[in-house]
Chains A and B, each alone.
Chain A
Amino acid sequence: MAETSKASVGTAELGFLLDPTVEQLVLALLSRIDVHFFVEAVLVIVIGYLLFQKRYKPLQGTEGLTEGEIDELCEQWTPDPLVTKEAMESVVKRSERVVTSHQGCRVIINGKESINFASFDFLNMLNEESIKDECEQTIRKYGVGSCGPRGFYGTIDVHLDLERELADFYGAEGGIIYSYDAATASSIIPAFLKRGDLVIRDEAISYSLQAGIDLSRAYVKEFRHNDMADLESILEIVKQADAKNQKPLNRRFIVVEGLYQNTGMICPLQEVVELAKQYKFRVLLDESMALGTLGETGKGSLEHWGIPASDITIRCGSMSNSLASIGGFAVADGPIIAHQRLSSTGYVFSASLPPFNATAAIAALRIIRQDKERISKLRENSTLAHEVLRDMTLNLDKNACDTLWLMGDEISPVKHLHLQQGKGTRQADDETLQKICDVVLDEFNVSLVVADYSPLQKIAPRPSIRITINSAQTREDIEKCAAAIGEAARKVFARAA
């Protein structure tokens, strides 16, 4: 090898002498250096550099620390409090109110009767004697609890009856019931969606759905509340990204509520379904509020919009609102229900619904089917409430420090009253609204609530007074409620100014 390089030295220099260009000069100079040695030297230097570079070594346990240092670290360490001061301060103190009657249209709170605008029992099922009688029979037969998960002798005939009834009521292939409504959506979503899947959700969905999406670890993005243009723009981005996708397609869902508990607005489901079809997404619909309140016969959003059941992949909901029982449910195609029976944590790992709750739900479903009066009365009351509350907010003194504004659909039995301006912080707004509620209860005997949101909720709606309408309320009740809120608001705003 050395010989070869020596031989080339001669040729390169000769080349320069024969043809004195820069090129030939460089070649001649290069030939003077032993390239081989040079390259090897550079490589050794590089290796040396890599070898002696500052090495990062993750500290494992107490390795490399002396006893004294360990003691010192232990002494310096102060544990964070489990509940931080900020967390304590962010919780608004609510005055304790004890109910000593059933939660009907009238309710006894702290020993005083008031008109109830705070219960989700829209169709006044709690006061139904026939339901109580049937529940009593079930308790005599099965006892109060079921004391076993569905997979281990917790399945009782009434559970299966209720599942059939729900599927039948909704016109779906199958139904499944959960023992706890807040765990329903948060179990269903992780059962179907995994890391890498896509969820596009309305920003106003309830906490249970939010928790489900978070638990699934899917990619998630919110669209502005009921804003179909925003939804479409997000879907368009996904479509564009798909062009670059080399992996198999992931599972994709649009998550909406039929009637939003947090805003009282109805979801434009027809457009959602159309977009979902166009962009090949599935739809998960929460019917917690819509059951018994939307549609001519109370069958929820699909009836309201005239959409076939096949367009929605999963419908889930709570049985503690219109059905005045406990627990959650889902209706869908057979395989989707069957999958949940082994893969949905809330179903698999909790003791099944107390049998009498199932009986109550069956009875309530039957009443919804038979008694169309209640639903039309509820619709009537909701519309009336919307009118009087809107008039009330318009008649508030514009020069006062603040006014109220009404949010919610006309036919929705859930209405929200927000502060027009607010004081800038969530807590201050919440306190102002709470004062209004207190005055309304103490002076006018009308019970209202300020909607409460957990600090766990990443996107929380603005503070509001939530008004829920009941089919048993009379015209006078609703007018009285609106007038009471108007009076109380005037007082509170005057006091604040």
Chain B
Amino acid sequence: MDGSKALNYNVEWINDRGTWWFYLLMLGLSRWCCFLLGVNEEWAWSFVLISHSIITFWLVHWKTGSLLTWEDDSGKYDGMTYWEQIDDGVENTGNRKFLRIVPLVLFLLAYRYSTGWLTYVNLSFTLLVLVPKIRSFRQRAKRSSGSFEGIIKQAGFRSTKSNHKRGSSWGGDKCE
């Protein structure tokens, strides 16, 4: 099965009711854990921010392909991160806005309590998850790095989706 017209079940769950709430709840829960473990106030939000950034970066911007449903789509999403797969790559959807705002709010919270070098650490971890979210950042990075697929596509290889012109050197038709 190819599933070209089907939903991308790999990221479809993000549109479920309660996903956003669950996400916020997890953040709140990790803050509460910090409280239970007795992490001091200056560190607590920074701790949440850093762990959130690491997990998000790995899951949303580093891993490619479909982690959950690889057998259903025969590699259709190979080479695409979760971020690129969300909402079929359409920009400015509710999900994308939400995922951009959360790290900013986390930074705001952490910034209130942190001073000195910890602020810079927080800043770099926030940028770690925000920079890959810049529109078409990932595609640009891919193109410049010259991946295998990038090179062969540039050389004229295509898969069925793309149309190509008729005509050829051994006397292909002239009309189209």
Question: What is A's interface to B at a CB cutoff of 8 Å?
Answer: 1, 4, 36, 39-40, 43-44, 46-47, 50-51, 53-58, 194-196, 198, 203-204, 214-215, 217-222, 224-225, 227, 234, 237-238, 240-242, 244-247, 263, 418, 422, 424-427, 458-463
- Looking at chain B's contact residues, the main secondary structure is loop
Q: Does B97 contact A (CB under 8 A)?
A: yes
Closest to B94 in A: A55
- Report yes or no: B104 in contact with A460, Cβ–Cβ below 8 A: no
Residues of A within 8 A of B146 (CB): 244
Closest to B152 in A: A241
- Looking at chain A's contact residues, the main secondary structure is loop
> What string of 1s and 0s marks CB contacts (under 8 Å) between B79-97 and chain A?
0000000010011111001
Instruction: Name the interface residues of B133-149: CB closer than 8 Å to any CB of A.
Output: 145-149
Once the chains are docked, how many angstroms separate the CA of A201 from the CA of B152? 15
Residues of A within 8 A of B94 (CB): 55, 57
- Report yes or no: A195 in contact with B74, Cβ–Cβ below 8 A: yes
Q: Does B28 contact A (CB under 8 A)?
A: no
- Shortest A456–chain B CB gap in Å is 12
Find B155's partner among A1, A44, A234 (CB 8 Å cutoff): A234
- Report yes or no: B91 in contact with A240, Cβ–Cβ below 8 A: no
Instruction: Name the interface residues of B31-53: CB closer than 8 Å to any CB of A.
Output: none
Once the chains are docked, how many angstroms separate the CA of A57 from the CA of B76? 24
Closest to A241 in B: B151
Closest to A219 in B: B157
Once the chains are docked, how many angstroms separate the CA of A463 from the CA of B175? 11
Once the chains are docked, how many angstroms separate the CA of A418 from the CA of B171? 9
Once the chains are docked, how many angstroms separate the CA of A426 from the CA of B164? 18
Closest to B107 in A: A43
Find B159's partner among A217, A240, A244, A425 (CB 8 Å cutoff): A217
- Report yes or no: A426 in contact with B155, Cβ–Cβ below 8 A: no
Once the chains are docked, how many angstroms separate the CA of A238 from the CA of B107? 45
- Report yes or no: A219 in contact with B152, Cβ–Cβ below 8 A: yes
Residues of A within 8 A of B5 (CB): none
Instruction: Name the interface residues of B60-83: CB closer than 8 Å to any CB of A.
Output: 74-76, 78
Once the chains are docked, how many angstroms separate the CA of A384 from the CA of B79? 57
Residues of B within 8 A of A36 (CB): 111
Find A237's partner among B111, B152, B173 (CB 8 Å cutoff): B152
- Shortest B128–chain A CB gap in Å is 17
- Shortest B39–chain A CB gap in Å is 19
- Report yes or no: A58 in contact with B175, Cβ–Cβ below 8 A: no
